[in-house]
Amino acid sequence: MLEVNLCGLKITSPLILASGILGVSYSTMIRLFNSGLGAITTKSIGPIPRRGYRNPSIVEITPGTFLNSVGLANPGIDYFINEIKEIKSHNIPLIVSIFGDSNKSYLDVAFKAEKAGADAVELNISCPHAEVSSIGIDKKLTYSLVNLLKQNLKIPIFVKLNPNVTNLIDIALAAENGGADAVIAINTISAMKIDINTKCPLLSHGSGGLSGKAIHPIAVKHVYDLYKILKIPIIGCGGVESWQDVVEFFLAGASAVQIGTALHKDISIIKTINSGLSNFLKLNKVKSIMDIIGLAHQFETQEVSECD
């Protein structure tokens, strides 16, 4: 009922761990998977170790909504290979999020992830507080990077889209034309919060990325728009904290959904969401969650009538 086939990756739940949340150590990732996630996306991993920005790097600005500028802190791919191998020894579907400072470094990291056993790679070209965002705002750069990896990798390539652009559809189409197997919509939204007493930004880096409850309607709108244009699957991401949020993404056109910020409460939320999804499908006499993908597109926008 909840099983999803995502580009050949068969997962038992449509819920996937979002990159950047708890995806560093294999022990934590195994715990999350055993709690009911269908697949794991790692934290973004680069070619070399990176410290990231100093604290404060994450703050909750309203209940369920966070601002962060971690700065892609990670141990580097050579160290992380051991984590990938350990995760795969437990037969857990694994998507490795990667970044680099050039097309070649992206490819090098992707090669190592694939060789270590990754089931797919997610290209982080959209982090709003790091240099990689320059790729995700340019359709030519996006096409070039995706196409290079497509020609050299055997595993699926997912592209995480940057919402901080004028036209997300142009970037998504560039990714699809370059050979992307799926896109993730969306990454965090560029934002800032200033302390009026210190007169300084709350984050050490200044600006950061907004995630959680507040961005969910924005993410749903992007998924809805992309579904009308793309031929490849869309993974919804942004503000999922209930089974209703997941259903909404699927109705908009998503084929799977990533969850991240909501896990700060308790990972038991995964089981609660899966249970709610199953009950919803049974109540509506739907055999598979994949049968509700894009159903909201049967809706017709009401035209504005002229006054008499």
Catalytically annotated residues: 127
Interatomic CA distance for residues 8 and 3, integer angstroms:
12
What's at 172, amino acid-wise? A
> Tokens in use for 124?
């982080």
Interatomic CA distance for residues 248 and 254, integer angstroms:
9
Name all contacts of 132-136 with Cβ < 8 Å and 24+ positions apart: 132/72, 132/99, 132/100, 133/162, 133/164, 136/160, 136/161, 136/162, 136/165, 136/171, 136/187
> How many residues does this entry show for the chain?
308
List alpha helices for the chain, DSSP H: 26-34, 77-88, 103-116, 133-136, 139-152, 168-178, 216-227, 243-252, 269-283
DSSP conformational letter for 7: T
